[in-house]
Chains A and B, each alone.
Chain A
């Protein structure tokens, strides 16, 4: 049923990775991405993969679950691989008409593919081990120093919170409206693209009306509960960095140093 959908792709578990402060995890993810671009040889990638492997093992998220998230990007992976393998010039080892594969091409294609896989697996670990709401909270707090410069950190976080709250509601609403229009003979499945797009109007109009009504009601309810922006607000969950968070941060720094050294000397 539509109401059972899980948002983001959070994998509920109680691992040391899950328990880390979201800010530490966000920083780690950002550093990991940077490291992947510093690395310029396969030994470096091997180190990154090993570290990621340890993180995955500690997080108790099953590999199958992570792989499922990879499916939608298989096409991009294949596309970049093909692009690199055919486009890079160098020592030709195979040729067919205008297509030619070079030694350098293979190297770069494999290189890019590995980088992309690590990049996506690494960043999905963040969403797999952090509840969406904690993630939003973490981002709000990390960005809050920039609020003084006019960056709307709180507003962005609030918008994300509300989106997380209402996406299931709107999905349910869409399901209801589609069924109701089907009961009036709507056909969403046959005909060409233009016909199908037209068939969606009876769904989209009520859905927008509904979304506006929700927005209006919600704005009123938030005002009634004394919402007046981020200043002066306190939070139920205080974010406090604990021992384990500092330990994790030290490990991150060590990892970064290792990668920089590796890139320089190998």
Chain B
């Protein structure tokens, strides 16, 4: 289901002395099945944008078409939006509240008013999809799990609602490198299995370079660039102006004087080989 965002504007505290334009004329389109990476430094409007996509905030003007429904229209119910879009917040493990993993993951689907069997099936599927063994974890308290497992359970809680668009706000924040890689691989698996669109906000340029099909760059509430990772990361100067870095490997190859934009370490090895002339 494609998403078309047009001229989205959001102003906090309009008319007050604390008025702040959080989003200004943001427009972009994401095709079905794509992974969109959103980058921008803290306070650039990324979080506000995500909350609009999930219907938690309404814009002052502009529209968000998901499939053929404009979710900014007053008549659209939240349940309708939830069936289309699932949003995983930053540090999602902080929302866990149930006694058992199974019950916690069932909370979202339960709110959609599904039958008991449907809920159980979805819960099992979601927990398996995030890489946990359903039978071992289902009766455990989510509070006893390790950091990485907690986060996986929290993500499963949103996946169990079977959204056609999955949005993740910095899903790897605060994790150690190993857990970071686990979560990133989990996102890849979810994408392969469901084929649905994923929108990923991250500060980690390396992750975005590796995983995204398209990249949206946000700065002071505006979408300032949109394109494939190669297109975006070949504009190093422009990114630096808005306080963003290139992926480390891209930066390194630029320093070496390799003309092409390199996104992964594997590509770098190849290009360095050619560069040396071996």
Contact = CB atoms under 8 A, between A and B. Distances in A.
In the complex, is A directly touching B at CB under 8 Å? yes
B226 interface: no
Decide if the interface of chain A is mainly helix, strand, loop or mixed: helix
A180 B95 contact: yes
A187 B107 contact: no
B78 A179 contact: no
B18 A185 contact: no
Given A185-B112, A187-B78, A206 B96 contact: yes
Nearest to B79: A185
Contacts of B110: 185
Contact of B86 (A1, A179, A183, A206): A183
Contacts of B20: 1
A185 B97 contact: no
Contact of A1 (B18, B51, B95): B18
Interface string A145-179: 00000000000000000000000000001001101
Contacts of B158: 183-184
A210 interface: yes
Give the size range of A's interface with the partner: 20 to 34
A181 interface: yes
Contact of B54 (A176, A177, A183, A186): A183
B18 A186 contact: no
A254 interface: no
A47 B157 CA distance: 65
Interface residues of B, number: 28
Contact of A182 (B78, B88, B112): B78
Interface in A172-225: 173, 176-177, 179-187, 201-202, 205-206, 209-210
A177 B78 contact: no
Contacts of A184: 82, 95, 107-108, 111, 157-158, 161
Contacts of A183: 54, 56, 82, 86-89, 158
Interface of B: 12-13, 18, 20, 51, 54, 56, 78-79, 82, 86-89, 92, 94-97, 107-108, 110-112, 143, 157-158, 161
B181 to A, nearest CB: 25
Contacts of B56: 179, 182-183
A226 B78 CA distance: 50
CB-CB nearest 8 A-B residue pairs = A185-B111, A205-B97, A184-B108, A183-B87, A180-B89, A180-B95, A202-B97, A185-B82
A4 interface: yes
Nearest to A189: B78
13 contacts: A1-B13, A1-B18, A4-B18, A176-B94, A177-B94, A179-B89, A180-B89, A183-B86, A183-B89, A185-B82, A185-B111, A187-B78, A210-B94
Interface of A: 1, 4, 173, 176-177, 179-187, 201-202, 205-206, 209-210
Given A181-B95, A187-B78, A209-B143, 17 more contacts: A1-B13, A1-B20, A176-B89, A176-B94, A179-B89, A180-B94, A183-B56, A183-B87, A183-B88, A183-B158, A184-B107, A185-B108, A205-B97, A206-B94, A206-B95, A206-B96, A206-B97
Nearest to B54: A183
Contacts of B112: 185
Contacts of B51: 179
A198 to B, nearest CB: 12
A196 B92 CA distance: 23
Contact of B92 (A4, A180, A185): A180
Contacts of B82: 183-185
